[in-house]
């Protein structure tokens, strides 16, 4: 850019005519409060138009250099004069909100007035104002660091010819006024729509405005519509780009026969898959046999070679990373990989040749892992079984034994190995959960027809043990070569969580051994003791809440839950991106001919920042869980809406300051009893004992109490079920 000499000299003259940075900074430090631009002008006697512009430029430069802050209220302040924090805004349906920060133990309060400056999901810089009393500290919004640009789902409405949308998520406590749009011309009131906000509204006077970008459905909620809402609410990528489609078109449906020459041919071995009845992709198959010359077993775990089709940096790879994992809903799957790969080329369907990576393990006669090896192979699965089918064959089901008589010898081998692993189960060395799952039978409209508890049988536990052994072997293998990879870390519980969990156990007449730093075995011992208690599921849920979430990271910190020094995910590359990364690393180790290939692998993933990939995949995993929970909660509420007025027995599963949740024994669904609605006495909350105590009667409501309750209301929008106490 050419700068005129006279203009340059004029600019210098104006900048020299205003106070220096040091002078401004010194003044602001001494001022110790928020100050407007006009007051700064007055302080330094800046009156003419050009000097005012020059001052503004200098202040902006100081803000860019993080010497000062320019707040969303149009005030300046020096950082060191206030106690600031960065965090995420959590809205509340009543208009106020909270600021959640990783650096603080407790959330900060955001008043209704402060929430007019931000919305749920924004990342903000805030000023901490300590409470003079013993109440919650509050936050004052200073700056929006990252706006929540997620489209908002809501119901379309019109009043006095004014169009607006009421957000489906009550944490967005405002109406969104709609610009004129083609999509609204024939839109009926009550329709579910997607709105993109105009974020230039963030001051106390302007109304929230937005534009309708998609119409999801009409007034009536259905499971498919609830799923569409969850997908968009949690910003789950669900469309394939044209680049992905173009790449898919070029992938051959048949395996190049040359590829077989470079792989170990295992098509003669009777591998087969064992999964849930409703499984939609099959990425693992197993085969085992007794050793001929010595005691012990050989176990082959064959995992689909997804990395053969998904090359680093391609459109499919970038989209897989973006998604992080597949998301499973009752009515559909949002796959991590396109169906041509996930349910066809990489799915180990029966009687078709498939490329795999093999983890071949040698086990002792007591089930201990002795050695392992990895190699590329081609297999041909001999059958697709469900867990129940294998379990029933093990127990002599005549019809199934006759149907699968050709594979009975291999299925019997699995039973023999299962008995060995059951005695020395790797999964039981950590915090072992029985995992009694709540299952739903859905009708043709994907609505709940029936609810039942599904107890995992020995076939489930056997396959789980085989997969854990393969993951353990993979962790041992990869650590030898120090390749950049994502470990599956599960950190030990925080001290506060241990104390709170022990407090709950004491109330239930139980204890957790292990002193100040209990190990996995101490949690396992507790679960064994309470296995036959009626409140086992509730205690197990509370135990899970007391633990940290497992995450992906290139830094190996071990897996507390499994009591392992290192752990990785190897067995599900169709539905988890970290597994693909591991497969690539294993293949590079197996086939590197010189250090250049190793360096190339290092550079590839360090350039992409493996730490960020781990954080992203951890986030997408949580995102999938939350989205699935949203749909399941809606399904439960839809089911319970037909039960309003019915009476059930249940157990208190959770206690909060405003009431307690009761899990219905018949349906394993939680409903809330608000303490204000319990009218026989005035009850106060004991946060230490986690109970409510009646002021006059001294009656108590505690965790584990069995109650008779009545369903009084169901709110489908808020996904909440309210109960009343039958006294």
Structure tokens at 696: 């006059």
What per-residue confidence (pLDDT) applies to 133? Answer: 62
Q: What does each C-alpha distance from 271 to 276, 394, 676, 724 come to in angstroms?
A: 17, 17, 60, 54
* Rounded to 5°, angle at Cα 716 from 715 and 719: 80
Count Cα atoms within 13 angstroms, Cβ side, for 124: 30
Element (H, E) at 401: helix 398-403
Q: What does each C-alpha distance from 430 to 58, 168, 544, 561 come to in angstroms?
A: 60, 41, 13, 5
Which among 359, 362, 400 has a CA at the least distance from the CA of 379? 359
- Domain residue extents for the chain: 5-79, 83-146, 152-220, 242-491+556-628, 496-535, 644-725
What per-residue confidence (pLDDT) applies to 16? Answer: 56
Map tokens 């039958």 to a residue.
726
DSSP category for residue 433 = -
Structure tokens at 328: 């499973």
Which among 601, 561, 342 has a CA at the least distance from the CA of 468? 561
Q: What is the DSSP string of 539-584?
A: HHHHHHHHSPPPEEESS---BTTTTBS-----S-TTTBHHHHHHHH
Structure tokens at 506: 């004491």
260 with 378: CB under 8 angstroms?
A: yes
The CA distance from 507 to 703, in Å, is 8
The CA distance from 284 to 306, in Å, is 11
Q: Does the domain at residues 644-725 carry the CATH identifier 2.40.50.140?
A: yes
The CA distance from 365 to 361, in Å, is 13
Other CB atoms closer than 10 Å to residue 623's CB: what's the count?
17
CATH number of 5-79: 1.10.10
Structural class in CATH, domain 152-220: mainly beta
Q: Which CATH superfamily is domain 83-146 in?
A: Nucleic acid-binding proteins (2.40.50.140)
Which among 89, 58, 61, 59 has a CA at the least distance from the CA of 77? 59
Which among 441, 432, 438, 430 has a CA at the least distance from the CA of 455? 438
The CA distance from 716 to 718, in Å, is 6
Number of H helices, E strands in the chain: 21, 33
DSSP category for residue 289 = E
Q: Do domains 5-79 and 83-146 have the same CATH topology?
A: no
What per-residue confidence (pLDDT) applies to 6? Answer: 37
Question: Alpha-carbon torsion 354, 359, 363, 366, what sign?
Answer: negative
Structure tokens at 54: 């020059």
User: In which residue ranges of the chain is pLDDT below 50?
Assistant: 1-15, 203-204, 593
Element (H, E) at 472: helix 458-481
What per-residue confidence (pLDDT) applies to 108? Answer: 92
Q: Where are the alpha helices (DSSP H) in 165-261?
A: 223-233, 242-250, 257-261
The CA distance from 302 to 332, in Å, is 27
What per-residue confidence (pLDDT) applies to 170? Answer: 85
> What are 722's strand-pairing partners?
672, 713
Q: Is 19 exposed, middle or buried (0-12, 13-18, 19+ CB in 10 A)?
A: middle
Q: Where are the alpha helices (DSSP H) in 110-178?
A: 112-115
What per-residue confidence (pLDDT) applies to 426? Answer: 67
Element (H, E) at 629: helix 610-640
Which among 694, 678, 697 has a CA at the least distance from the CA of 686? 694
Q: What is this structure's pTM?
A: 0.87
Q: Dihedral angle at the C-alpha atoms of 707, 712, 715, 721, nearest 10 degrees?
A: 10
What per-residue confidence (pLDDT) applies to 601? Answer: 63
Looking only at the bridges linking them, the beta strands covering 284-290 and 297-304 are antiparallel
- pLDDT single digits (tens) 487-506: 999 999 999 899 989 988 98
Count Cα atoms within 13 angstroms, Cβ side, for 213: 11
Structure tokens at 149: 């640009």
> What are 439's strand-pairing partners?
452
Which among 252, 264, 435, 269 has a CA at the least distance from the CA of 344? 252
């Amino acid at each position: 850019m050419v700068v005129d000499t006279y203009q340059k000299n004029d600019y210098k003259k104006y900048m020299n005519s205003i106070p220096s940075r040091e002078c401004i900074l010194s003044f602001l430090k001494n001022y110790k409060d928020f100050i407007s631009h006009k007051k700064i002008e007055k302080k330094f006697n800046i009156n003419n138009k050009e000097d005012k512009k020059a001052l503004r430029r200098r202040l902006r430069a100081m803000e860019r250099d993080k010497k000062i802050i320019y707040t969303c209220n149009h005030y300046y302040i020096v950082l060191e004069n206030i106690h600031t924090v960065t965090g995420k805004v959590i809205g509340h349906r009543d208009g106020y909100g909270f600021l959640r920060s990783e650096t603080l133990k407790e959330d900060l309060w955001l008043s209704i007035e402060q929430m007019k400056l931000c919305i749920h999901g924004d990342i903000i810089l805030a000023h901490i104002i300590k409470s003079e009393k013993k109440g919650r500290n509050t936050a004052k919004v200073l700056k929006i660091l990252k706006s929540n640009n997620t489209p908002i789902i809501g119901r379309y409405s019109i009043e006095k010819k004014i169009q607006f949308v009421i957000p489906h998520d009550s944490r967005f406590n405002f109406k969104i006024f709609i610009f004129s749009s083609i999509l609204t011309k024939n839109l009926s009131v009550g329709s579910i729509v997607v709105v993109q906000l105009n974020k230039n509204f963030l001051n106390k006077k302007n109304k929230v405005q937005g534009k309708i970008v998609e119409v999801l459905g009409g007034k009536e909620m259905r499971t498919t519509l609830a799923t569409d809402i969850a997908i968009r609410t949690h910003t789950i990528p669900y469309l394939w780009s044209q680049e992905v489609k173009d790449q898919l078109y070029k992938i051959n449906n048949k395996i190049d026969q040359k590829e077989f020459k470079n792989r170990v041919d295992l098509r003669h071995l009777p591998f087969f898959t064992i999964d849930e009845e409703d499984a939609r992709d099959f990425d693992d198959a197993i085969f085992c046999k007794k050793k001929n010359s010595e005691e012990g077993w050989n176990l082959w775990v064959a995992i689909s070679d997804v990395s053969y089709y998904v090359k680093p940096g391609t459109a499919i790879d970038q989209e897989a990373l973006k998604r992080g994992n597949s998301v499973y809903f009752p009515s559909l799957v949002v796959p991590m990989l396109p169906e041509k790969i996930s349910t066809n080329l990489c799915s180990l369907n029966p009687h078709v040749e498939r490329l795999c990576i093999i983890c071949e393990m040698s086990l002792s006669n007591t089930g201990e892992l002795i050695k392992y090896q990895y190699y590329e192979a081609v297999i041909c699965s001999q059958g697709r079984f469900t867990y129940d089918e294998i379990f029933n064959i093990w127990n002599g089901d005549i019809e199934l034994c006759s149907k699968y008589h050709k594979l009975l010898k291999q299925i019997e081998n699995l039973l023999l190995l299962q008995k060995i692993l059951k005695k020395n189960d790797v999964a039981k060395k950590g915090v072992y959960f029985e995992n009694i799952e709540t299952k739903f039978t859905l009708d043709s409209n994907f609505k709940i027809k029936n609810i039942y508890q599904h107890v995992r049988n020995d076939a489930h536990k056997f396959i789980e043990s085989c997969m854990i052994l393969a993951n353990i072997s993979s962790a041992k293998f990869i650590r030898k070569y120090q390749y950049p990879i994502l470990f599956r870390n599960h950190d030990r519980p925080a001290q506060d969580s241990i104390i709170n969990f022990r407090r709950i156990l004491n109330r239930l007449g139980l204890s957790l051994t292990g002193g100040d730093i209990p190990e996995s075995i101490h949690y396992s011992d507790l679960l064994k003791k309470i296995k036959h208690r009626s409140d086992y599921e509730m205690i197990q849920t509370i135990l899970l809440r007391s633990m940290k979430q497992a995450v992906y990271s290139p830094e190996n910190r071990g897996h507390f839950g499994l009591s392992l020094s290192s752990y990785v995910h190897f067995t599900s590359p169709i539905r988890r991106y970290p597994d693909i990364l591991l497969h690539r690393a294993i293949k590079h180790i197996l086939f590197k001919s010189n250090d250049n290939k190793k360096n190339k692998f290092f550079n590839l993933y360090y350039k992409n920042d493996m730490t960020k990939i781990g954080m992203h995949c951890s986030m997408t995993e949580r995102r999938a869980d939350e989205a699935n929970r949203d749909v399941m909660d809606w399904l439960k509420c839809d089911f319970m809406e037909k039960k309003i007025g019915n009476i059930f027995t249940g157990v208190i599963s959770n206690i909060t300051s405003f009431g307690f949740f009761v899990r219905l024994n018949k349906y394993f669904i939680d409903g809330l009893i608000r303490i204000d609605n319990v009218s026989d006495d005035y009850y106060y909350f004991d946060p230490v004992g986690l109970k409510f105590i009646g002021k006059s009667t001294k009656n108590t409501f505690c965790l584990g109490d069995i109650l008779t309750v009545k369903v009084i209301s169901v709110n489908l929008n808020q996904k909440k079920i309210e109960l009343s106490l039958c006294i």
